[in-house]
Structures are given as C-alpha cells and as structure tokens.
Structure 1
Amino acid sequence: MYDFVIVGGGIVGLSTAMALGETYPQAKIAVLEKESQWAFHQTGHNSGVIHSGIYYKPGGFKARFCRAGNQSMVGFCQKHDINYNICGKVIVAVEESELPLLENLYQRGLQNGMKVSKISAEEVREIEPHVRCLAGLRVPSTGIVDYQKVAQKYAELIELQGGELHLNTKVVKIVNTNNDTQVIETTQGNFETRFTINCAGLYSDRIAKLAKAKPQAKIVPFRGEYYELTPEKRYLVKTLIYPVPNPAFPFLGVHFTKMIDGTVHAGPNAVLSLKREGYHKTDFNLRDFAEVMTYPGFWKLAAKYSEDGIQEIIRSFSKAAFVRSLQRLIPEVQAEDLVPTHAGVRAQALMNDGKLVDDFSIVQSDNSIHVCNAPSPAATSSIEIGKAIVNQMPAFSHLQTNLQTSLKV
C-alpha cells in the first residue's frame, strides 16, 4: 500500500514527489512513468529558459509560481552544482504599433514585483549588437539551464528519501475500492494507493477521466518547431531576444534563445500536432487527431485565431517565411545560417467554449489531485508547483487521518 502515487515522471511529477518526501519523510511514495527515462517529453524538449514571470497576469498561479520559482530554481542549481546562467533577456518592439504593448508589458512586470527596465534602441544594441528595434525592455532575472539535468537530480533525491521510481510503467486503469483507496493498474502490475497525483502532462486529461475526475478542458497538443544557428553564426545572439508578444494570440512568437550548451535556437512557431507526442510533421495518431477534430472548443479557437494560425502553418512549411520572422529581430540572419533542430509539443488545455486555459490548473477530486494544465513556465515553477500540491493535502481530512496512522505521527 502506497500513501502517494504520482502518475507522470516529468519535471512537475518529480518535483511533487520530492516535496511530498520532504514533508512526509516516512510516507511510501511511488512515481510511475511510461517512458524509459525521466522528463522525456515536455521537459526534455523545451528551450531551457528560467523564466522571469513578466508575461503573466498578476496574482495568478503562473505569475506567483514563476516569480518564486525563478529564485528557487537558481537556489536548487547552486545547491546541487547544476550548470545555469542568469544571462537576462531583452524584449523588443520593432514597429510603432508595438510600443504601447511594450509599455503594457513593462507595467505588468512592475505589478509582478520584478526588476525590469526600459531601454532605448541604442541600449538594446549594447546588449545585443545585431538587433534592430525601436525600443526594448531589459529583464535581468531570466536565465538558462538544462531541465533534464534538473529533473534527474529530483529523481536522485526522491530515491535518497526512500521513494520508488518506476520507468516503463504505463497506467491503463484506475479503480476506486471500497476501502477509500485506489488501485492503479499498469503494464508493470498494480499499485494500491491512498492518494493519486496526476502529473501526466500531455495525457493529464485522460488520466483524470480514468480516476473519475471531471476535467473542464481537453489537452490539445501544439508543436513548436525550432531552427538552430550554425556555429559560425552564433555570435549574432548573446543572450535571449524576444519580440513583443501579440496579446490577441496565446503564444510568444519566434525568438532567439542561447542554450546552456552554447547553441542558439530560433523559434518556435505553434502548429496543431496530429499526435500528442508528435515531434515531426508526419507524426499521426488517429485517436489524438479524432479527439481534436470532434472537439467544439478547437473549432471555436481556430475561428478566433484563423489568420494567426494560417501564418503559423505557413512558417511550418516555409523556411523562407520562418526566416522573415526572425529577420524582424536580427536582419542579418539568412536562410543558410539556420538548420532544423528538435521540436517540442506543448500540452495546452482548451475549454469547450474555445478559450485556452491561460493559467496552471490544479483540480481536486476524491483521493486525488490532477495537474490539468501546466505548460510553460512549469519547468521554472516546478519546485513551487510541488510545494503547492503538498499544501493542498490538509484539505483532505480523511487522508490526513490515514497518513497519521501509516506514518505513526
């Protein structure tokens, strides 16, 4: 009998298990992951940015967790000797129409309690000599790290706490018993638990349904495709360079990211993936595709953002169009300076009315908690999300009674 079983071995699932082990050191904890390695999907395919929190609605989970997570992630890396770099980033306006949006973003940064400064085009060029813009913001707290290495350290700490880690373990069924517990049936046997925590990312809505929870949104996968600057052109980017995001579109736009290994990635675009784990244009899964195509919320979203969506699709199939987007920031970039690199898939929760869930979503159910929406900046916020989930445990009085019994508190 387990006290806690976490479904999903990405960075959020592992951080949650780590936080539980710290709070309940005698609890029996297991993490189940269907892949053969930890943090394989969203964590292993992201851009490695330690986000600042400037973009997010003040007071929301993303704003609070990201702001605190920026500091706790840096502290974790320092404590465990994980390579990171707080290099800062610039956000730039390249057209007159973007200047009011830049001002709004500056005010949001101040509301979120951040150190952010307005800088002129000349000051931008002192930081990023090859950028051409009208004005910019300097966000010094943004950094870069390898989140797979962070997640691996989480896993090592869980084992030191006495937690169990199970790879190649896919959940196929969840059964509620008469003893106020759940039996999680997997490809590697059954796990009986007093409490289940769903951190399944791209499959979080399906796991929630297996547990008889009622997620209010469906996961729709969006693939983000990247190019990489050739080694001889990496000098064009010193830190991180972002455009002013379009407030009418839920993605940040293509940008330049210097990675912790010294490479420079350019992107991503955002296109519908025809498979939840579809990292290539040709990847296709009939069930995943049918779920999206028959979901009213998707068609309402598509109608609302039809023009932007078409531009993203064009950028996906036309390198020339992708390059033109990048040249808005750095005019010197040419097609021959870019080579394709890995793509990522974002698990984005979408409501039936066509609204994207724009904040982290953590849903409580009987004997379970479901993280139903945790895209970027979830990696930055992972330590804080784990703490928040643990802090929700006192809401379950019957669970506390069971824990006190099992832990002999």
Structure 2
Amino acid sequence: MRREVAHDCDVLVIGGGIVGLSTAYAITRAAPGTRVTVLEKEPGPARHQTGRNSGVIHSGIYYRPGSLKARFAVRGAAEMVKFCTEYGIAHAVTGKLIVATERSELPRLHALVQRGRENGLQVRELGAAQIGEYEPGVRGLAAIHVATTGVCDFAGVARRLAEASGAEIRYGAKVAYIDRRPDLGVAVRTSDGEIVRGRALVNCAGLQCDGIARLAGDDPGMRIVPFRGEYYTLTRPGLVNGLVYPVPDPAFPFLGVHLTRGIDGSVHVGPNAVPALAREGYDWRTVRPRELGATLAWPGSWHMARRHWRQGGGEVRRSLSRTAFTQAVRRLLPAVTPDDLVPAAAGVRAQAVLRDGTLVDDFLIKEAPRTVHVLNAPSPAATASLPIGREVARRALAMLSRP
C-alpha cells in the first residue's frame, strides 16, 4: 500500500539566485497553480554570483555553436532586454568591442567572427582606424563589434522574478539534510530545524550545488572549484564609452580583464580569475579550511593546476600587484595609470571541474529520481537565466506527472 504524504509544495527549489528564481518563475508560468517553494540561505536574493558580476548581457558570441550556452545566451539576451523593458529594470544595449592587440590574436579574432555568425549574430569587423569610431581611447590592431551586448541590473531582475513568480520564498533557510524517497518525494531539513516537503526537488545552489547533490544522495561527478574575480572602478569613466574586451584564450574559460560601463555610468575594470580560499571567499583574508581542504582533495584541482599553471600564475600576479593589473588594462586602454583604479567588490565564479581536471565548458544539468541538479551555471548564466529556467522547469514538471 502506498503511503500518502502531505507535501508543503509541488516543487522545492534550493537557491535564490537568478537561475533558481527563473526556474520558479518558469514553473508557475507553464503550470499555473503549481506550488513552488524556494529555500535561500541568505537574508535576500542574488547575494552571490547574480549580484556580484559585471552586469553584462552577453551576446553568445564565445560559445560553441549548438551548445546550451550558445543557444540559451543568444535567446536569453533578447529575452532579458524584453523582461527589463517590461518591468522597468535598468538596462542598456550598448554593444561591445572585442579587440586584438597582438598579431598572434588575429586568427582567434577571425574565428570569433565565424562563431558569432554561426550563432546567428551580426558581427562587424573593424580595422585599427575604425576602433576609434566606438572607443577613441582604445588601441588595437583589429576588432569586432557585437551590437546585441548590453548591461543590466541582474539583482533587480532576480528581485522581480521572485515577486512575479508567486512562489513562497524562504530566506535564511540553509539546507542541512535531504531525505529523498522515490515513492514519497523529498523532505529537506534546514539548519534551524524546519522541515519542508515537496514532490520534486530542484538544485540551483550555485557555489554549493555539488554539496547539495551529495546531500540528496547523488554523485555529481564534478566539484565546484571557486575562482574569485577582482574588479576595480575607473576614476576617469570618460575614457570608455561602452564595453571593451580582449580576445579570450580558448584554452582558459575566462574572458580576461575587460572594461564595462555599467547602468550607473561607472566603469568597472576586471575581473581577473584567482583561486578563492572559500566558496564565498571574496578576498584573500577569507579562508575556510574545510572548503579549501575539499578543493585540494579533489584530483581534478591538481590536474587543472598542472594544465593551467602559467595562466594561473599571471592571474595571481595581477591580483597581488595593481601595477601588473594596470599593465593588462593598458593593452586595451593605454591612458590608464594605477591611480585611475580604485578597488571594487569582487565576485566568485562557481566553476565545475571534472575528476580529470577538465573545466566544464557548457551548462551542466543532470536528473536523478525526483530531482534536477543544475551543476554548472557560471557566466553567461545570468544572461541565459530565462531559457535555463524554462528548461529546468520543463524537467521538474515532467517529474510531477510521473507516478
């Protein structure tokens, strides 16, 4: 005989960042009347990756054609602009330049042109003299202009998603234990002893997603290795009109130090990418030995370090030396001096790393009994959050329909 259980909700979402809240929003839009509860350990939404990035609405130019990142970023950029317009959230479509400053970068720049066009984007190729049409202070050998890139207030988007979803949002609810039974559903106990029962579970815990997967009894097959991205604010924002990026290294999953004029008119410079000593380690002083030990115990961390030690050493050097950081910026913007850079709030990227040291390139979504795990959703996840939310919602709602 099947035992009946009183569920507090139909879908229980762990994580109140933009992906978790987009999922809640998508569920209630696709299936009105579905009861959704979101558990967020912080006192409000968007306190980590969502609220600590450069605010860029990415075009999708960088990502492998056909990948989730490519499809969801291209689609998500247009949807994000529409969402911000509809709900009155600050945003601007500024376009951006990707600039080659060395001859060795020119083949990679041309490859980006082809990739962008394969992803359905309009990309304009620029010679050195044409760069000044967009950015008079920027110098380079060649560049490409991508018109659909923009900026917005992602934290504001997350707050509006929380309101519009109609979900029950419980803040200060840190997950301590998960009991999943295929015939009964999922029960979650929070650190204050509260128990919440749902018919299906969605794990959108970002920096903590692999730990939540293990609490649910699943082996995620990866670990989150946190990378801190440090930013500066430019004291002379008039040097930059919009967004300026270097040509990225395809072997390294970070876009390099770039210049971003935000919705408030200020210009952020960064980020670099250095190992964080805690999952939420926003400076070198924040060290959590247990979390750091878990990172060091993961074989993939050592394989990754051996593979990328040269790039990693350069990132650490730029973290410890403002002069070195300035040199990286001056490749794009020669007029910048160390005195032009004022430290700003840092962010942490939740990068999934496999056991063999591979840095997971695409979004990673896995299913388990009554559970959907979002296991790799760093940038451009904020841009792509609406399509990601729909995909996760589709999977969760399918689970509700099964006996």
TM over 0.5: yes
1:58 maps to which of 65, 87, 96: 65
Counterpart check, 1:174 vs 2:190:
no
- Structure-2 separation of matches of 1:254 and 1:227: 10
- Structure-2 separation of matches of 1:177 and 1:131: 58
Deviations 1:238-280 (A, max 9, x none): 0000000111222111010111111101011100000000001
Aligned-partner residue type, residue 136 of structure 2: P
The DSSP-based 3-state class of the residue aligned with 1:152 is helix
Q: How does 1:123-202 map to 2 (within 5 A)?
A: 123-159=130-166, 163-177=167-181, 179-188=183-192, 189-202=194-207
- The residue that corresponds to 1:74 in the other structure is 81
Counterpart check, 1:350 vs 2:357:
no
- Structure-2 separation of matches of 1:303 and 1:238: 39
Aligned-partner residue type, residue 362 of structure 2: D
CA contact (8 A) 2:182 2:370 kept: no
Give the C-alpha shift of residue 180 in structure 1.
2.5
Give the alignment's Cα RMSD to 1 decimal. 1.1
- Structure-2 separation of matches of 1:68 and 1:275: 33
Aligned-partner residue type, residue 204 of structure 2: C
Counterpart check, 1:298 vs 2:301:
yes
- The residue that corresponds to 1:94 in the other structure is 101
CA contact (8 A) 2:46 2:158 kept: yes
The DSSP-based 3-state class of the residue aligned with 2:244 is strand
Q: TM-score, normalised by structure 2?
A: 0.96
Deviations 1:117-152 (A, max 9, x none): 101111111100001100000000000001000000
- Structure-1 separation of matches of 2:13 and 2:356: 30
- Structure-2 separation of matches of 1:394 and 1:305: 40
Aligned-partner residue type, residue 212 of structure 2: I
The DSSP-based 3-state class of the residue aligned with 1:276 is coil
Q: TM-score, normalised by structure 1?
A: 0.95
- The residue that corresponds to 1:22 in the other structure is 29
Counterpart check, 1:224 vs 2:229:
yes
- Structure-2 separation of matches of 1:76 and 1:143: 13
Counterpart check, 1:260 vs 2:260:
no
- Structure-2 separation of matches of 1:244 and 1:166: 42
2:281 maps to which of 259, 278, 281: 278
2:55 maps to which of 48, 54, 65: 48
Aligned-partner residue type, residue 324 of structure 2: A
Aligned-partner residue type, residue 195 of structure 1: A
- The residue that corresponds to 1:210 in the other structure is 215
CA contact (8 A) 2:202 2:396 kept: no
- The residue that corresponds to 1:321 in the other structure is 324
Aligned-partner residue type, residue 56 of structure 1: Y
- The residue that corresponds to 1:13 in the other structure is 20
CA contact (8 A) 1:393 1:400 kept: no
Counterpart check, 1:249 vs 2:256:
no
Structure 1 runs (4+) greater than 6 angstroms displaced: none
Deviations 1:193-226 (A, max 9, x none): 1000000000000001111122111000000001
Aligned-partner residue type, residue 58 of structure 1: P
Aligned-partner residue type, residue 70 of structure 2: A
Aligned-partner residue type, residue 400 of structure 1: S
Counterpart check, 1:338 vs 2:335:
no
Counterpart check, 1:3 vs 2:10:
yes
The DSSP-based 3-state class of the residue aligned with 1:340 is strand
CA contact (8 A) 2:278 2:287 kept: yes
CA contact (8 A) 2:371 2:396 kept: no
CA contact (8 A) 2:40 2:174 kept: yes
- Structure-1 separation of matches of 2:52 and 2:180: 34
Give the C-alpha shift of residue 106 in structure 1.
0.5
Give the C-alpha shift of residue 78 in structure 1.
1.1
- The residue that corresponds to 2:368 in the other structure is 365
- The residue that corresponds to 2:116 in the other structure is 109
The gaps in structure 1 that reach 5 residues or longer are: 403-409
- Structure-2 separation of matches of 1:109 and 1:283: 39
CA contact (8 A) 2:210 2:222 kept: yes
CA contact (8 A) 1:55 1:105 kept: yes
Aligned-partner residue type, residue 184 of structure 2: D
CA contact (8 A) 2:182 2:369 kept: no
The DSSP-based 3-state class of the residue aligned with 1:98 is helix
Aligned-partner residue type, residue 36 of structure 2: I
Q: Identical aligned pairs, as a percentage?
A: 48
- The residue that corresponds to 1:239 in the other structure is 242
The DSSP-based 3-state class of the residue aligned with 1:53 is coil
Deviations 1:9-41 (A, max 9, x none): 000000000100111211111000000010100
CA distance 1:240–1:178, change in 2 (3 Å): closer
- The residue that corresponds to 1:379 in the other structure is 382
Q: How does 1:29-44 map to 2 (within 5 A)?
A: 29-44=36-51
